[in-house]
């Protein structure tokens, strides 16, 4: 394991507080102080907080400690501890997993950003998994859900690391009020997510893949898919269920991340080293407290305190609790001593005795809501489209006569933004004229088996019903089409697509 750790550290990066840190003993030993260049250029130097592993982050990405003559011993990699608990069935050749693995392998910058955020929270998640003896792969679930961003907010209003939608959170009795949202709170959301996952595991008799699918789609959706297959005499394992497109990709994403994290070099990926040390700890406070004042007392920035306590929606802690703050371990003792020394009788603790910020929202929550509002707003001249089961960005773009890039730009979406059932998309212009409001590109009514059904859209667009024994290549040859075009029109991998009898394919025939 030490050889593996050493090879990782030679080229492993992780990003924290917007800066890149090279985690090698060599650089730690060689960096004696902040360079004059940093001072001359006004570079900011910020600190990170792993107990017994203090370092400074310099703008050029190097770690510095002025009084270090040599590097301290490196702590074990936290990911190694997580990976020792991996236990879900995983196949390196499953085409659905391969597709997701290739995406992650081609998006190193995304993995770096995610790792920088995960560095704050992973130790807590890993400990909770060990306490409950749960699979280590569940530590990867916040990557799939939120990229380890506690302020992530989906179009369906799912929020926090674990992305609870309001209805599920209410069912699970999570507090959501003007002051506090437990969906974003690290301890509460993690405990609730693991409780819910255990319930789902037990509901599916220990089948973790179906439990994970149900976490994404709802256990009612998965139960109906299981019953549908059972009634038809088909296998009822996750891989054979007829589920929404997002859920089809959901479990493969998690398993792809498990494969990459276990052997990143095999896939040409740098997987961040995170020391196996606590990042934060809990300090009790006597009552409602101004966040800026608490940050000053803890000798950290307000941004850092908000990132560790993202459930707090205002500039002050909730009057009804929880009466605690998570602070970096290196500042915890000093902060606790200052709290204990305050002369108060449970009154509100505001900076300078001022309560003028009481009504002001946490700025990170404001930014989260601003982005969500911008995503939901339909610009003038655009039209609204509601995501339906089976939709992909490509299929919506083709059906509506616009490009996927246009949709991304209009909706301020990145290349990895998922589509969720019920989300609304803004579509540019008028697009194609379609005879029906239905999401299906074909007219109603049955088609003769194996015959293309003419769509009412222009441009030679037809729909083909897949027959037993059909392949993409055979269909392309039959209709004198390029197989690459056929795969692209239907968002399929031409080399790995599995067609099912009755499946509908979109074709654009030449006249």
Residue positions annotated with a catalytic role: 145
CB 255 within 8 A of CB 238: no
Q: Contact at 8 Å (CB) between 130 and 85?
A: yes
Dist. CA 470–CA 133, nearest whole Å: 45
Strand pairing class (63-64; 280-284) = unpaired
Nearest to 435 by CA among 452, 455, 462: 455
Q: Do 21 and 12 touch, CB atoms closer than 8 A? A: no
Q: Which residues pair with 57 in a beta bridge?
A: 46, 63
- How far apart are the two ends of the chain, measured CA to CA in Å? 63
User: What contacts 260, CB < 8 A, 6 or more positions away?
Assistant: 101, 104, 105, 267, 269, 271
Q: Give the single-character DSSP code of 283.
A: E
DSSP letters along 290-325, please? BHHHHHHHHTS-HHHHHHH-TTB-BSB--TTS--EE
Can you read off the two tokens belonging to residue 103?
Answer: 């995406």
Q: Which of 29, 66, 71 is nearest to 47 (CA)?
A: 66
Which residues does 326 contact at the CB level (< 8 Å), separation at least 6? 186, 187, 280, 281, 282, 283, 308, 309
Backbone φ and ψ of 314, nearest 5°: -115, -175
> Which residue, 107, 14, 29, is CA-closest to 61?
14
List, in sequence order, the alpha helices (H) in 77-218.
78-83, 95-105, 108-132, 141-146, 166-171, 186-203, 208-217
193, burial (CB in 10 Å: exposed 0-12, middle 13-18, buried 19+): buried
b/e 314-348 (16+ beta carbons within 10 angstroms → b): bbbbbeeebeebbbbbbbbeebbeebeeeeeeeeb
């Amino acid at each position: 394991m030490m050889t593996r750790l050493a090879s990782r550290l030679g080229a492993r990066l992780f990003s924290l507080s917007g800066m890149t840190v090279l985690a090698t003993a060599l650089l730690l030993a060689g960096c004696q102080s902040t360079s004059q260049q940093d001072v001359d250029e006004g570079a900011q130097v910020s600190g990170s907080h792993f107990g017994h592993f203090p370092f400074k982050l310099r703008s050029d990405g190097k770690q510095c400690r002025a009084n270090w003559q040599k590097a301290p011993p490196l702590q074990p990699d936290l990911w190694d501890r997580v990976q020792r608990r991996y236990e879900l069935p995983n196949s390196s050749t499953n085409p659905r997993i391969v597709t997701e693995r290739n995406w992650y392998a081609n998006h190193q910058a995304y993995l770096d950003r995610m790792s920088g955020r995960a560095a704050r929270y992973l130790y807590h998640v890993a400990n909770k998994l060990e306490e409950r003896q749960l699979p280590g792969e569940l530590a990867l679930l916040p990557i799939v859900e939120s990229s380890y961003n506690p302020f992530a907010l989906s179009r369906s209003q799912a929020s926090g690391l674990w992305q609870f939608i309001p209805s599920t959170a209410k069912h699970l009795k999570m507090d959501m009020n003007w002051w506090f949202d437990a969906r974003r709170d690290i301890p509460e959301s993690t405990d609730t997510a693991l409780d819910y996952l255990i319930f789902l595991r037990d509901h599916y008799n220990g089948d973790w893949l179906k439990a994970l699918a149900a976490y994404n789609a709802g256990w009612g959706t998965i139960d109906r898919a299981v019953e549908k297959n059972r009634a038809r005499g088909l296998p009822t394992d996750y891989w054979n269920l007829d589920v929404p497109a997002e859920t089809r990709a959901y479990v493969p994403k998690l398993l792809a991340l498990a494969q990459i994290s276990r052997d990143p070099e095999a896939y040409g990926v740098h997987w961040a080293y995170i020391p196996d040390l606590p990042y934060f700890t809990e300090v009790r406070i006597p009552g409602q407290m101004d966040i800026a004042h608490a940050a000053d007392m803890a000798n950290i920035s307000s941004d850092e305190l908000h990132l560790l306590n993202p459930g707090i929606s205002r500039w002050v802690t909730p009057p009804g609790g929880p009466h605690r703050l998570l602070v970096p371990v290196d500042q915890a003792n000093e902060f606790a001593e200052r709290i204990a020394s305050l002369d108060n009788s449970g009154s509100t603790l505001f900076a300078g005795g001022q309560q003028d910020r009481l009504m002001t929202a946490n700025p990170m929550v404001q930014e989260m809501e601003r982005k969500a509002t911008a995503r939901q707003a339909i610009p003038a001249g655009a039209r609204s489209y509601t995501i339906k089961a089976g939709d992909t960005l490509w299929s919506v773009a083709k059906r509506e006569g616009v490009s996927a890039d246009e949709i991304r730009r209009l909706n301020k979406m990145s290349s990895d933004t998922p589509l969720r059932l019920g989300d609304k998309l803004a579509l540019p212009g008028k697009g194609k004229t379609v005879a029906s409001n239905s999401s299906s590109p074909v007219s109603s009514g049955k088609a003769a088996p194996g015959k293309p059904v003419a769509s009412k859209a222009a441009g030679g667009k037809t729909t083909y019903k897949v027959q037993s024994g059909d392949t993409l290549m055979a269909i392309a040859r039959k209709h004198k089409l390029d197989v690459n075009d056929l795969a692209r029109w239907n968002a399929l991998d031409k080399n790995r697509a599995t067609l099912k009898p009755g499946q509908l394919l979109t074709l654009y025939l030449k006249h």
